[in-house]
Amino acid sequence: MIAQQVLNEWYPVAMAAQIRAGQRRVTQLLGQPITVDLQKGAIVVTGQGGALHVTEAYGHVWACPGAPAHDLFPIPEASEPGRRLVDVGVVRVKCSPLRAVENFLDIAHFPFVHTDVLGAEPHTEVNRYEVQIREDSDEVWATKVTFYQPQAAKSSEGGIVTQYMYRVAAPTAAVLYKTCPNRTDAWDVIGIFVQPLSEELCDVWPWMALYDDVSPQAELIAFQQMIFLQDRSILENQIPRLLPLDPGMEIPTQADLTSIAYRRWLKKRGLTYGAQMVAA
Amino acid sequence: MIRLYDYVLSASCYKVRLMAALVGVKMDHEAVDFHPGRAHKSLEFAQLNPAGTLPVMVDGAMILTESTAMLVYLAKRAGSQWLGPDDAKSAAQVQQWLAFSGRLAASLGMARLHDMLLYQGDIDAWRKDGHAALRELEAALTERRFAGGDWLVGDAPSIADIACFPNVALSQDGGVSLDAYPSVRLWTRRIRALDRFIEMPGIHRLHELSPAPKVA
């Protein structure tokens, strides 16, 4: 039995461009079969009990299997003129959808998993940063994050200290804002939209809104896929498989503040699909 | 300059990138939107490679579309040490393994595309064929170890090893574990320990084993 608050959230279920091109997607959401297709020019998501609530945003189709508790979260940058919007495409990962989000929020693994790209030894220290659960938007935010990166983006030339902000905008969607190598007055925006197929299997849709007039689209996609696929084999081997929301065997450190806030936020809101409540 | 039409997640493309790195040949890379764009199946790409596969190597007027042929080209340009010993039996064995690498791509490679990028097909058959190929590889490498050898053919790494390595090292991506194949695992470590080795997503570099951790 899936909790009503889980059903009342929005989840990504397809890349809008692929559905609009006539590709029907037969998939799964929260363990239930669904179909995403185009009917008379409108994108429709159909489950066993009929049509689901649908919205289209940030290159993707979002569905809510219950009664939407709120609108889909805003990403104002998505409509800023001059940004390149990049649909990176689906990658399936055999892990809890919550673990996929948590990994996206983690900085400490950069030098070890994304070696010579998003981090490098000996620059392994995660400097202090701030985390808050914003009551007005009901989102988790990490700010004032800084990290030394050898190649922060496709358009980077040489290492820089990159600034980051992280934002959990929905139970299975997070957005990060990072220093844009080409613009000092704007952030690059990268989202990770996770479709929970089951509690231990997900389809992950990375998405980007960048200021980069130079890099070919294929290279922007390849760069982000390279990063995410470096994470995939790690994610598939994390134990316990479900994300523990109660403290137990794990000992978090200062660097894990965002993850701790994300887990508390999930627990407080009862968003426990893909989580385990008993101490690991 | 050699130009490689490349995709970062492709085992076959990585095979060529790895070979080029090992022999110190520089190439230009042209990223192709294999996923999600399927640009390798476009009409435009068909002009270059009617088979619609990656990688494609272009050097002057020469176009190669088979990754094993690219390995031969890169190895031959860099001398002959990567081509295996120059006797009839060794030369034939190298060809045997180059062809065998196609079986790995058709089994382990497809299982990986299924599990990772949602390719449709008979996943059970791909995994079963993958295990069958791994058993053969395990047997061959174990025989080589009994005879004091570390590599598939001869006393040094060759294009035979490089051709077979990527899909084996990535087998876990397709749900095929290497737990039952210790000689294969040791051999993948040997390749990862080579001078000038480069990684790809899913194949991590060998981390320093020394200094050894203190055992209480």
A222 touches B: beta carbon within 8 Å: yes
Answer yes or no: are the C-beta atoms of B110 and B10 closer than 8 Å: no
Q: Do A22 and A80 have their domain in common?
A: no
Is B165 strand, coil or helix? Answer: helix
Question: Is-above-0.90 flag for pTM?
Answer: yes
| CA distances to B76, B81, B88, B143, B166 from B153, in Å | 17, 12, 12, 11, 17
Q: E strand or H helix at A86, and its extent?
A: strand A84-87
Backbone angles phi, psi at B89, to 5 degrees: -65, -45
Is B163 strand, coil or helix? Answer: helix
More confident call, B210 vs A29 = A29
Range of B93's domain? 82-192
Q: What is the ipTM of this complex?
A: 0.93
Backbone angles phi, psi at A204, to 5 degrees: -110, 130
Q: Which of A84, A223, A233, A234 to mutate to test the interface with B (most CBs of B within 10 A)?
A: A233
Collect the ranges in chain B with pLDDT lower than 50.
none
Number of structural domains found in chain A: 2
Answer yes or no: are the C-beta atoms of B10 and B16 closer than 8 Å: no
Q: What's the CA gap between B132 and A278, in Å, rounded?
A: 41
Q: What's the CA gap between B14 and A227, in Å, rounded?
A: 15
Range of A40's domain? 1-72
More confident call, A156 vs B9 = B9
CATH of the domain at B51: 3.40.30.10
**Domain stops at, among A34, A56, A72:** A72
pLDDT in tens, B20-62: 999 999 999 999 999 999 999 999 999 999 999 999 999 999 9
Record: contact B8-A226, CB cut-off 8 A: yes
- Indicate whether B208 belongs to any domain: no
CATH of the domain at B136: 1.20.1050.10
**A166-A170-A173-A177 Cα dihedral, nearest 10 degrees:** -20
Record: contact B118-A219, CB cut-off 8 A: no
Q: Do B132 and B72 have their domain in common?
A: no
CATH of the domain at A222: 3.90.380.10
Shortest distance between the Cα of A230 and any Cα of chain B, in A, equals 5
Task: Kindly indicate the confidence band of residue A174, based on its pLDDT and cuts at 50, 70 and 90.
Answer: very high
Record: contact A222-B205, CB cut-off 8 A: no
CATH of the domain at A28: 2.20.25.680
Number of structural domains found in chain B: 2
Q: Could you give the percent of chain A with pLDDT greater than 70?
A: 99
pLDDT in tens, A81-125: 999 999 999 999 999 999 999 999 999 999 999 998 999 988 999
Nearest C-alpha in A relative to B32: A218
When CB atoms are compared, the residue of B117, B118, B201 closest to A230 is B201
pLDDT at position B206 is 84
pLDDT in tens, A202-254: 999 999 999 999 999 999 999 999 999 999 999 999 999 999 998 777 788 88
Q: What's the CA gap between A93 and A238, in Å, rounded?
A: 12
Would you call A27 exposed, middle or buried from its count of C-beta atoms within 10 A (0-12, 13-18, 19+)? middle
* Average pLDDT in chain A: 95
Inform me whether the pLDDT recorded for A277 exceeds 90: no
pLDDT at position B211 is 58
Pairing of strands B56-59, B27-31: unpaired
pLDDT in tens, A158-170: 888 999 999 999 9
- Taken as a whole, chain A contains a residue count of 280
Q: Do A65 and A204 have their domain in common?
A: no
